[in-house]
Amino acid sequence: MMRFLTVVALAFIAGCSQVQHPPQPVAVNIVAINDLHGYLQANTFSYSDANGEHKVRAGGIATLGGMLAQLRQQDPHLLFIGAGDLVGASPPLSAMWADEPTLDALHMMGMNLSAIGNHELDNGKAEFLRQVNGGCNSSRPTKACQFRPAYGGSGVPYIAANLIDTDTGKTLLPPYRIKTVNGVKVAFVGAVLRDVAAVVSAKGMQGLSVQDEADSINQLIPELEAQGANAIVAVVHQGGATPEAFDQQDCQHLSGDIVDVAKRLDPAVDVLISAHSHQGYLCKVGPLLVTQGSSFGHLMTHLTLDVTPGQHHVTRIQATNLLADPAKYPADPKLAALQQEVEARSNAVLLQPVGAIAVASITRSADDAGESPLGDLIADVQLAVGAADGAKIGFTNTGGIRNDLALEPGQRLLNYGQVATVQPFDNAVVAFDLSGRQLEAVLNLQWKTDEDVNFLQVSKGFTYRWDASRPLNSRVVPGSIRLNGKQLKAEGRYRVVMNSFLAAGGDRFAIFKEGRNRRDLGISDQEALIDYLKAMEQKGQPVGSASSAGRIVRVK
Ligand SMILES: [Zn+2]
């Protein structure tokens, strides 16, 4: 009987096509988040639009879950995807548990897939695979499986077409996944920024290499089309920026590294979901829509693709960036309960007092010369750790300082949570020797272009001048580098100290890799800062300043 009905139904459909009804497009709904960075709680979202500057609270797993529930009511076949950096560089609330509560939350939210980001690799490929697949065999034994005795894994299938496992010569992850929705096939193909090795520690990149994003995606297009993909979505952990508002339709002024990727993608790619630069946008690069949903759970990018069955054809794409406003979406009860459990179990640790500071806030914002008060303090902390090992100069990277060190109104002592947020990576502190010539060369690497400048923060006693009118690779004024008032000698040997990310040539400071007589000082940068603040508190000498110390001097 069933067979008979099927035959009748097929005959009916065949009859339809004979009178040449064109196939009708079906709607595919996709929501994307990127750069969640373990933000379990709502947090401050600053943005500007035609009405000026705004500061609102947005995000949090309970609200994101509530948004998903509402969107799934409208379309139960909604696809929920990530664009990388979902964990890593997280607030202590998540970081202290090796991000397992965030990974549990993604599992509960039913994330269908994600492109891999750089921060998923912070602790190497084995630890990344543990995050997905579960287990307690971790490189972070004091954090892993502490929240739950047996961690089950996020189960989120990651994709990356350009990340190669050098042990096998193949991609570490499947390059793409095809999801069938309402009878059409949507292919998602992933990639991580090709410069990932410059932003992940050398240890994290062990056994991995990376290829060009656009080339890796483009070479898969024939395979995706052979598999009958009706739409192709590229998900790339790389980004850009625009002065336009996060919800501006078809914004026109996207700049940054993602633009080159977008321009070189095969025209068969229907939309590019981007990430990494923590910006919200719905821009066009030529005919291609390029989106990003800010960071920290502030925005969800909602895409509706009208896809024609039977062919590779997307007739229309609608895109919006939805603000994850806790007042607008009822919290998902299960995710709210998870958040409360994490808060209750973390608070005892996070609220432990560490020490006072001399001003209400030590900012990480740099002055015109590139120096920040918090950069000064952290470089001094590194020097204090390295002094016993003979170090004379401390360095730190601006990008590694993730928050200001600031007291709440009425608060006297900073707590562990506030300090840990400033240096969440928990990198080791490493000392080694460099020549004066190498030091001058490394300082000159700070200027890649006039716009792309990445300043090193330096410890007390180390000073130099730079001049914006000099050529890019020699902006440091020759002869201006001094240590405790004495000019640096090109052939002199200077012991330096810094975090292990920078020591391994991170943030494009490759010369640091050439250092000799390396020693891991057996303490993390986060512990070092906490110990320093505690020690200075005991001495009654709270540290820090509201303005930078003038170690870096800009001449022009
Ligand atoms: Zn990133």
CA of 192 to the centre of ligand 1 (A): 9
Q: Which residues of the chain have pLDDT under 50?
A: 1-17
The rounded Å distance from CA 277 to ligand 1 centre is 7
Query: What are the percentages of helix, strand and coil residues in the chain, rounded to 5?
Result: 30, 30, 45
CA of 13 to the centre of ligand 1 (A): 48
Cα–Cα nearest to 156, from 208, 80, 89: 80
How far is Cα 236 from Cα 288, in angstroms, rounded to an integer?
Answer: 14
Which residues have beta carbons under 5 A from ligand 1 (an ion)?
85, 117-118, 276
The DSSP H or E segment spanning 176 is strand 176-181
Ligand 1 centroid distance, CA of 86 (Å): 9
Asked whether the beta carbons of 233 and 191 are under 8 A apart, the reply is no
Q: What is the whole-number distance in angstroms between the Cα of residue 89 and the centre of ligand 1?
A: 10
Do the beta carbons of residue 275 and residue 34 sit within 8 Å? yes
- How many whole angstroms from 276 Cα to the centroid of ligand 1? 4
How far is Cα 362 from Cα 372, in angstroms, rounded to an integer? 9
How far does residue 532's CA lie from ligand 1's centre (Å)? 30
Q: What is the pTM assigned to this prediction?
A: 0.81
How far away, in angstroms, is 175 Cα from ligand 1 center? 18
Helix (H), strand (E) at residue 511: none
Are 358 and 412 within 8 A, CB to CB? no
Q: How far is the CA of 210 from the centre of ligand 1 (A)?
A: 15
CA 453 to centroid of ligand 1, rounded, Å: 18
Q: In what order do the strands lie in the sheet with 158-159?
A: 158-159, 113-115, 79-82, 26-33, 299-307, 314-323
Helix (H, G, I), strand (E, B) or coil at 320: strand
CA of 438 relative to ligand 1 center, distance in Å: 29
Distance 427 CA to ligand 1 centre (A): 17
Instruction: Quote the ligand 1 centre to 239 CA distance (angstroms).
Output: 8
Distance from the alpha carbon of residue 236 to the mean position of ligand 1, in angstroms: 10
**Ligand 1 centroid to residue 405 C-alpha, Å:** 23
Cα 36 to middle of ligand 1, angstroms: 10
List alpha helices for 158-312, DSSP H.
196-199, 213-218, 221-226, 257-264
pLDDT at 19: 60
| pLDDT score of 4 | 37
d(CA 548, CA 415): 23
Q: What is the pLDDT of residue 12?
A: 43
Separation of 98 CA from ligand 1 center, angstroms? 18
Helix 61-74 with 333-350: angle, nearest 10 deg:
170
Distance 343 CA to ligand 1 centre (A): 26
Distance CA 64, CA 354 (A): 33
Output DSSP code: residue 360: S
Per DSSP bridges, beta strands 482-483 and 113-115 are unpaired
Specify the pLDDT at position 18.
Answer: 53
CA of 39 to the centre of ligand 1 (A): 15
Q: Measured in angstroms, how far is the CA atom of residue 416 from the centroid of ligand 1?
A: 25
CA-to-CA dists, residue 418 to 163, 312, 351, 435, 540, angstroms: 35, 51, 9, 37, 20
CA 141 to ligand 1 center in whole angstroms:
25
